[in-house]
Amino acid sequence: MGSTEVLRTILQISDEDEYINQLSDELSTYFNLLTGVIVESKDLMSPSNLASDEMFLLTLKCCINFCARIDLNKKLFECVNEKRRDDFLTSLTSFSFSEAKEDAKNLGISLLVNLTVISEWVNVFCNAPFANIIYRKITSKRSPSCLELKLILNLTSSAKMRRHMCEERTGLSLFLARLSEIPDVESRMAIAGIFKNCSFEEECHGRICFISNDILTEVLLPLCDQSDNISEDDRSKLPDRVREVYELKSAKREEDIGVKITLCESLLQLCATKDGRSHLRSLGVYFILREMHRQECCREEKLDKSGRKDELRTQRELVYIIEQIVDQLICEEYERPPGVKSLRDIPLDPQTQEKLEKAKADFLNSN
């Protein structure tokens, strides 16, 4: 049986959990074979030739299928040595961001997305030049693809990548500027997730807030709607672009509940620090969230009457997060414990923690 026939057989196996479980002892051999093909191909052919090479494409498809399972993804990581990992990622990254045909490159990026679901591969990416190379390639594009955005999202599970993005800021601004324009929900969800992950870097809140007004403006725009009842005086406190969409009656609130929840979770993370809270107040975020809360509560009532329990619980989660942000914004700074840099640093005894969790559960599950 030739190499191509072997790969076709492996491809069939890679998509069938039952066969994979039976062949667990042979997987290390398969993984060494597959990574070897990708590593060696880089030196034998140009990216444009690889894009039409059946053996190379079959190898990518096999790896994509195997690495869709977290346990096999980890097994792949463990069964290849450090040099093979570096060579594998070098070859894969080089091909995925080359001038080869788009559909073939997308196979490479799909594999990168699957790999970076686990922290082991993310750490290799971020401790070597791979992450920065990928970041520069993607942020240089006017319209990054959904796969590319998912790859950046996965990489922001690393604090090193998050800090780099917050320091550099250009990429974050680029992604968020696309938030209100992109038609597909998956891409918007990836962008919202990228910002949410970056908002966990509390030492970067000052840079996100005070140095780059455009970043938070882009986050706020999808939370606005032309039906919002904000007085002229209160509108004067809003960022220019937000005020403009209200005046032009072009404001349209994000429709997807997952994207709205993720954006609001980002704002809640910013509320952990004084820098974050102060800036959100200065941008008039309270007025936007007040109106959003009103509209989302109306939606909650409709879902309650419809009996759609899962949707109702998700809707209540959004309402709950909005209320948490508003509570943080209306609380005066002098009421907070002195000397605390982050609200997450405030210790909670087990009883208080249990009460808070119960209060949230009661709210989400109330009849």
What pLDDT, on a 0 to 100 scale, did the predictor assign at position 346?
Answer: 64
pLDDT at 61 over 90: yes
Average pLDDT of the residues in 127-155: 93
For 92-101, how does the pLDDT look when each residue is reduced to its tens digit (9 = 90+)?
999 999 999 9
What pLDDT, on a 0 to 100 scale, did the predictor assign at position 349?
Answer: 67
* Residue 164: band (very low, low, confident or very high) from pLDDT cuts 50, 70, 90: very high
Query: What φ, ψ does residue 283 adopt, rounded to 5°?
Result: -90, 0
What pLDDT, on a 0 to 100 scale, did the predictor assign at position 19?
Answer: 76
Q: How does the average pLDDT of the chain come out, rounded?
A: 90
- In the block, which residue shows the tokens 């060494």? 32
What pLDDT, on a 0 to 100 scale, did the predictor assign at position 157?
Answer: 97
For 238-273, how does the pLDDT look when each residue is reduced to its tens digit (9 = 90+)?
999 999 999 999 999 999 999 999 999 999 999 999
Distance CA 197, CA 163 (A): 10
pLDDT at 205 over 70: yes
Q: 243: Cβ–Cβ under 8 A, 6 or more apart, which residues? A: 235, 236
pLDDT at 106 over 80: yes
What pLDDT, on a 0 to 100 scale, did the predictor assign at position 1?
Answer: 42
Residue 103 included in any domain: yes
Distance CA 263, CA 268 (A): 9
Show the domain range for 51. 1-134
Q: Are 113 and 64 in contact (CB under 8 A)?
A: no
Residue 67 included in any domain: yes
CA-based Rg of the chain, rounded to a whole angstrom? 24
What pLDDT, on a 0 to 100 scale, did the predictor assign at position 268?
Answer: 96
Distance CA 295, CA 289 (A): 10
pLDDT at 204 over 80: yes
Average pLDDT of the residues in 43-55: 92
The 3-state DSSP class for residue 199 equals coil
For 287-306, how does the pLDDT look when each residue is reduced to its tens digit (9 = 90+)?
999 999 999 999 999 998 88
Residue 205 included in any domain: no
pLDDT at 196 over 70: yes
Number of domains, the chain: 1
Average pLDDT of the residues in 6-29: 83
Residue 130 included in any domain: yes
Residue 101 included in any domain: yes
The 3-state DSSP class for residue 332 equals coil
Residue 220 included in any domain: no
* Residue 334: band (very low, low, confident or very high) from pLDDT cuts 50, 70, 90: confident
Average pLDDT of the residues in 224-247: 95
Residue 78 included in any domain: yes
Q: Which of 14-18, 82-86, 159-163, 179-183 has the lowest mean pLDDT?
A: 14-18
Residue 112 included in any domain: yes
Distance CA 41, CA 29 (A): 18
